[in-house]
Structure 1
């Protein structure tokens, strides 16, 4: 009997140290106002393009091929982080995030290419449209963060996006451990 090994994967855009530190610094004004939440460590801040979940190791090579193909079709672009928000809504927040006020067409194009490719590999369609954001905290119970978000000074950071990463995620009690499996330069 063969043992099927799986790994938890997602495609993402990694952020530079200065952008991650700037986002974490901007979020400090919100930390005191949020109860019963788990904050993402600054070194783990990233922009997820598509979460894949537990994936059999046999799918890693085609996912790597997809990443190479999708990244070669786009050129580097800028992503601006200039607001805080919450999912599903500020009044019933479960996830606190930083992201752009204006959606990024290049980000949407990259997410679309990845989405088409993973569906062709048999993954179910993503139910929600891609919205570029950096998850800052996950809340154990829904909270009304609308007043805190209205009062918090927003971030004002720009990130140059020139890579796509296929990331492995190992869940641990102290927080997830992220390991890049493959990284591709946009446009080449």
Structure 2
């Protein structure tokens, strides 16, 4: 199964990100991510078996030990790829708590000999794939207000002809008392 570890977006932040995505869909062509699939990936594992998935669950537990909620703040839009075929994303501030959690998550995966995409961590929420950006401006856009994420989840990615669906396999609540 294809798997990844991601922070779930808090409800208000997710709703505001979905509204931003809808506004962008009015001026950009592309395959926009379904609102229920919005998330912030910390580590993409790729294909894993059941034993690796159980090890990844243990890595989540270890990485989250003593970790409180993570602040999320939007920094603007960005893209990967060409303007005519881009991945469009919402940038997220490199908050020390967020960056530390991403580092610990990757260290715990490596300690269990689990492979993951080792590209440098750039915090973002993917909004659209195969996006074609207009030559002119994007108009007035409302970005999500700052919020805190409290759930780190191991997801299974199920690919279909209409895009990916994500199924939660295991979730760790970040301790609000910290």
Relative to the length of structure 1, the TM-score reads 0.81
Q: Is 1:170 the equivalent of 2:149?
A: no
Q: Specify every segment of 5 or more residues in structure 1 that has no aligned partner in the other structure, as ranges.
A: 1-6
Kept in 2, the 8 Å contact 1:81–1:156? The answer is yes
152 and 146 in structure 1: CA distance in 2 versus 1, 3 angstrom threshold: farther
Q: Which residue of 2 aligns with 1:153?
A: 141
| Between 68-77 and 154-163, the greater mean CA deviation after superposition | 154-163
77 and 167 in structure 1: CA distance in 2 versus 1, 3 angstrom threshold: same
Q: Is 1:95 the equivalent of 2:83?
A: no
CA distance in 1, matches of 2:78, 2:42: 18
Deviations 1:130-181 (A, max 9, x none): 12211110016xx4567445x4425032231112111111112233221111
CA distance in 2, matches of 1:84, 1:145: 14
| Within-5 A mapping of 1:1-188 | 7-35=1-29, 37-88=30-81, 91=83, 94-100=86-92, 102-124=93-115, 126-139=117-130, 143=132, 147-148=136-137, 151-187=139-175
Kept in 1, the 8 Å contact 2:28–2:133? The answer is no
Deviations 1:88-123 (A, max 9, x none): 47x5662111123x3111111111011112223334
Give secondary structure in 1 for the equivalent of 2:67. coil
Relative to the length of structure 2, the TM-score reads 0.86
| Between 68-77 and 117-126, the greater mean CA deviation after superposition | 117-126
Moved over 3 A (4+): 123-127, 143-149
* Distance apart, 1:22 and its partner CA: 1.0
Q: Specify every segment of 5 or more residues in structure 2 that has no aligned partner in the other structure, as ranges.
A: none
- How many matched pairs? 176
* Distance apart, 1:33 and its partner CA: 2.8
Deviations 1:54-98 (A, max 9, x none): 101111221111101111132112111241211247x56621111
76 and 146 in structure 1: CA distance in 2 versus 1, 3 angstrom threshold: farther
144 and 183 in structure 1: CA distance in 2 versus 1, 3 angstrom threshold: same
